[in-house]
Copies of this chain bind each other. A is one copy, B any other.
Amino acid sequence: MNVKLHLTPTSFKRSDLADNVAVVIDVLRCTTSICAALSAGARGVIPTIGPGEAVDMWTKLGSNLAILAGEREGVRIENFQLGNSPLEFTAESVGGKLVVMTTTNGTRAFVESSQAALVLSAALVNIGLIADRIVAEGRDVAIVCAGREGGFSIEDTLCGGMLIDLIAAEQRGELDLNDAGSLALLLYRSNKTAIKQSIAQGEHGRYLTRIGFADDIENAAAVDSIPVLPVLQDGRLVLEQ
């Protein structure tokens, strides 16, 4: 099985992903929040790139059906109902609703990956189910790390490395990895006993702690704590039936 990891969503062409399973990872915090939202009973999450596009979509859907969520520089966008903390996505806030979401890095990664045959939303909180689904699908895999402001992100790369480790264990046969995939695997295996600390000590982790979101790191680092399988269907992330 061919597994390519991309440290950022800008290091591949969209057409490269045709016939692949694309796995989007934004541990802090987009894909963690997507798991939280769907697990809390949201009908779907619609990733959009810009706040303007998000507001247009939300207006079109109507406030009975939809709710606006998003951040810039980690903080809730003004006039949006929700920010990007997984703890905000509860049955009360999102149950039965469509969440229109825009985040700095994560939602763009979904748009860049949308030409893949199957698009999954992965985080540490649902990594085990993601690995199972990939092995069941049997296609080549593109792991798309959302990264941070155009650069690489240690938590997404670590999560991608863990996914490769799990696939390798389930798959048995040799995996054909690209250089970034080998690097991610090395990063994971060097930090597997200290995942939470590695994330907390990273640039983004320290930033989130500074602006008051230390709990989100704890939450995002809890491996397999929200076992759901979000797939992209017609532009929205829903639980796979």
Which residues on A are within 8 Å of B, measured CB to CB? 6-8, 10-12, 149-154, 157, 178-180, 182-183, 186-187, 190, 202-203
In the complex, what's the smallest C-beta–C-beta distance from A183 to chain B, in angstroms?
A: 6
Query: Is B179 a contact of A203 with CB atoms below 8 Å?
Result: yes
A-B interface, 5 closest residue pairs, ranked by CB to CB distance from nearest: A11-B151, A154-B179, A179-B203, A179-B202, A11-B150
In the complex, what's the smallest C-beta–C-beta distance from A221 to chain B, in angstroms?
A: 16
Number of this chain's copies in the assembly equals: 2
Closest to A191 in B: B186
Query: Is B153 a contact of A179 with CB atoms below 8 Å?
Result: yes
Q: In the bound complex, what is the Cα–Cα distance between A19 and B213 (angstroms)? A: 33
Closest to A150 in B: B11
- Between A and B, 12 residue pairs with Cβ closer than 8 Å are A6-B151, A7-B7, A7-B151, A10-B150, A11-B150, A11-B152, A152-B183, A153-B179, A186-B186, A186-B187, A186-B190, A190-B190
Q: In the bound complex, what is the Cα–Cα distance between A8 and B6 (angstroms)? A: 13
